[in-house]
């Protein structure tokens, strides 16, 4: 009976490790944390791979499914003038292997500056 209890406990622990030990997907955040910007405002895209060091990865920012910012060495990229609305996501490629992963999309709306009468 005791051996059976230890076997069950071992399976539970192994299942917990396999389930919860996986690294989460990449996460794209923007600073400032808004969803609507005026034309020409600046924004910083931050792509977090949630594992390893920043230097372990190359980063790419995509808009509407296409490469917007090519692979760069830093997870943060400041865009001084935002002009286009779109669905943005980031992808990272590990430098030491073929592993890559991408974030979910963030919807960003860009509109004209309000008129002052």
Q: For residue 23, what are the contacts with CB-CB under 8 A and spacing of at least 6?
A: 50, 51
Q: pLDDT, tens digit, for every residue of 15-56?
A: 333 344 445 699 999 999 999 999 999 999 999 999 999 999
Residue 12 has pLDDT above 50, yes or no: no
Q: pLDDT grade, residue 114 (50/70/90)?
A: low
Contact criterion met (CB below 8 Å) for 91 and 80: no
Q: Which domains does the chain have, with CATH numbers?
A: 20-111 (2.60.40.10)
Nearest to residue 75, comparing CAs of 53, 105, 95, 98? 53
- Residue at token pair 């808009």: 63
- Nearest to residue 23, comparing CAs of 101, 105, 106, 104? 101
User: Which one has a higher pLDDT value, 116 or 52?
Assistant: 52
Confidence of residue 115 (pLDDT cuts 50, 70, 90): low
- Strands 76-79 and 43-48, by their bridges, are antiparallel
- C-beta separation of 89 from 106 below 8 A: yes
- What is the pLDDT confidence band of residue 14, given thresholds at 50, 70 and 90? very low
**Mean pLDDT, the chain, as a whole number?**
82
């Amino acid at each position: 009976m005791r051996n059976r209890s230890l076997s069950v406990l071992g399976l539970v622990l192994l299942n917990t490790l396999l389930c919860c030990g996986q690294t989460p997907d990449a996460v794209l955040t923007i600073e400032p944390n808004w969803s609507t910007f005026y034309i020409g405002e600046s924004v910083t895209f931050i792509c977090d791979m949630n594992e390893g060091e920043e230097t372990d990865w190359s980063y790419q920012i995509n808009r509407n499914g296409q490469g917007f910012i090519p692979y760069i060495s830093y997870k943060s990229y400041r865009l001084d003038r935002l002009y286009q609305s779109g669905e943005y996501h980031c992808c990272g490629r590990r430098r030491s292997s073929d592993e890559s992963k991408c974030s979910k999309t963030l919807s960003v709306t860009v509109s004209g500056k309000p008129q002052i009468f």
